[in-house]
Chains A and B, each alone.
Chain A
Amino acid sequence: MVDFLHKRKRTFLLSGMCLCVLAMILSVFPGIRLSVAEQGLAMVVVPLQRGANTTILWLQGRFAAMADNASLIAENAALREENIKLTLKVEQLHLAGEENYYLTNILEMRQRFPELPTVGARVIAQNQNNWRSRFSIGSGTREGIEANMPVLAGDAVKGIIRSAWNNHAEVITIFDGEFSVAVHSIRAETAGIVRGDIQLSREGLLRMDLIAATSNIMPGDTLVTSAYSPLFPPGLPVGTVLSVHPNPDGLTQYALVEPAAGTNRPHMVLVVTG
């Protein structure tokens, strides 16, 4: 096979490039997807990602426990034996405790929005490159998750589902350049669009656009999702205005916004399924 291709290098090169370009053209049309290939690969890749993620969490817990152990020995040699026993117990309980912490978070989040139908999901993988801000969760269409469903972390908007498969889904975070949500300032009664921006994401900030020049929006104002948003239920916290700046056109202003969901990578998220 390879020898055959070696004799037809030019044809091979052209065919490969044409195949990729054809795939690009086809993927522009919505609805055309490699569903079978995606589902098949996901059955292999997602369990591996889940396993790797669990191993990483275990290792992180182990290193943290080791560091605690070392400092306790230095502080009090008399308690060494007891300390080792406790450390072993801590190691054993660490993963269970961590899981419990995240599940409690999920429960608290659900209690904050009792009227919203939600599904808790674990973050299993990060985006493969640094050009986008995305992550994968270990729940998918099996749990009722579909594309364009809002994703919450803590009690605030964290992102939106980009695509969902049987056993996992991809989330676009609020910092991603493709993310945008219609928001509303409760105090100033001002509407606008909050967008992700790769440059601002380095400082942990978002950008709010399309603020009327006459608006009296000011730093400290809380922004929540607007009733005009087609994807997000109204009233979900998005962020707090940090500073307001006029646009050169003089007709609108823009604001820098601190996200309410924080900048840290979450371990668990809540997907609003209804």
Chain B
Amino acid sequence: MLRVPVMGVLILFNYVSQTTIWPELAILGVTPDTALIFIVSYGMLRGEIEGALFGLAAGFLMDIFGGEYLGVYALMGFLAGYVSGKPFRDFFKDNYFLPFFIVLGMALVYQFALYVALFMFRGHLDFWFYVYSIILPKTVYTAALAIPLYLLVHIINKRVETFENNRRSLFEDKEND
């Protein structure tokens, strides 16, 4: 059960850094979407169910503290976690380029979905302005951070898996005795 508090700490760490540290490191006025990187990385490493749960929790936190409507970020996080976990469950986990491309694609879709959900339906139809000033820079910045943050999640996941395996084998040994 170590995984649940670790997930919680990771989500909190991400939210706090996204609202304090990353705004100071904004490039062209945009900040990276580190939540998406964590969701995609977790989904790729742990499969669609855990990825979706991670995305749901991270999304709800963002919704609670500043979302337009409760559930918008949660839904997108849930789907992002599910989709990134679905086809990539069995990929070679030390391949760092796949997460880069998945995050790149997912960030593009995610930002576009945010534009549609929060702006397009409210009559903000200057699509190319939003593409050039927010969607593209944010996608590129997010993708640039995909590999180091994936590495971080990968290391944490490895440690947790080792801990859980040791614990499991300890209990199995006791049962065999």
Contacts and interface: CB of A to CB of B under 8 A. Distances in A.
Interface of A: 2, 5-6, 9, 12-13, 16-17, 19-24, 26-28, 34, 37-38, 41-42, 44-45, 48-49, 52-53, 56, 60, 124-132, 134, 136, 170, 177, 198-199, 202, 265
Interface of A is mostly: helix
A238 B70 CA distance: 31
B106 to A, nearest CB: 15
B31 A129 contact: yes
A34 B64 CA distance: 8
Contact of A53 (B20, B31, B119): B20
Nearest to A3: B49
A34 B126 contact: no
B160 interface: no
17 contacts: A12-B52, A16-B52, A19-B56, A20-B71, A20-B75, A23-B60, A24-B69, A28-B69, A34-B70, A44-B12, A48-B12, A48-B16, A125-B19, A127-B23, A131-B115, A170-B65, A202-B133
Interface of B is mostly: helix
B69 A17 contact: no
Given A44-B12, A131-B114, A124 B134 contact: no
A37 B64 contact: yes
B114 to A, nearest CB: 6
Contacts of A49: 16, 19-20
A38 B52 CA distance: 22
B12 A128 contact: no
A21 B76 CA distance: 11
A17 B31 CA distance: 27
Interface in B49-99: 49-50, 52, 56, 59-66, 69-72, 74-75, 78-79, 82
**Which of B19, B59, B138 has the largest count of A CB atoms less than 10 A from its CB?**
B19
B62 A128 contact: yes
Contact of A131 (B15, B59, B134): B134
B12 to A, nearest CB: 7
**Which of A19, A42, A131, A177 has the largest count of B CB atoms less than 10 A from its CB?**
A131
Contact of A17 (B16, B65, B78): B78
B18 interface: yes
Contact of A23 (B20, B63, B79, B119): B63
Interface in B122-151: 122, 124, 126, 129, 133-134, 138
B105 interface: no
Contact of B72 (A24, A125, A177): A24
A27 B69 CA distance: 6
B19 A128 contact: yes
A21 B17 CA distance: 28
Contacts of A136: 19, 65-66
B74 A6 contact: no
Contacts of A199: 126, 129, 133
Contacts of B134: 130-131
B145 to A, nearest CB: 15
B49 A170 contact: no
A24 B65 contact: no
A17 to B, nearest CB: 7
Contacts of B102: none
Contacts of B62: 128
A56 B21 CA distance: 7
Given A13-B82, A131-B119, A134-B66, A23 B19 contact: no
A126 B114 contact: no
A27 B71 contact: yes
Given A23-B70, A130-B29, A131-B119, A125 B82 contact: no
B6 interface: no
A2 B66 contact: no
A24 B31 CA distance: 26
A2 B65 CA distance: 28
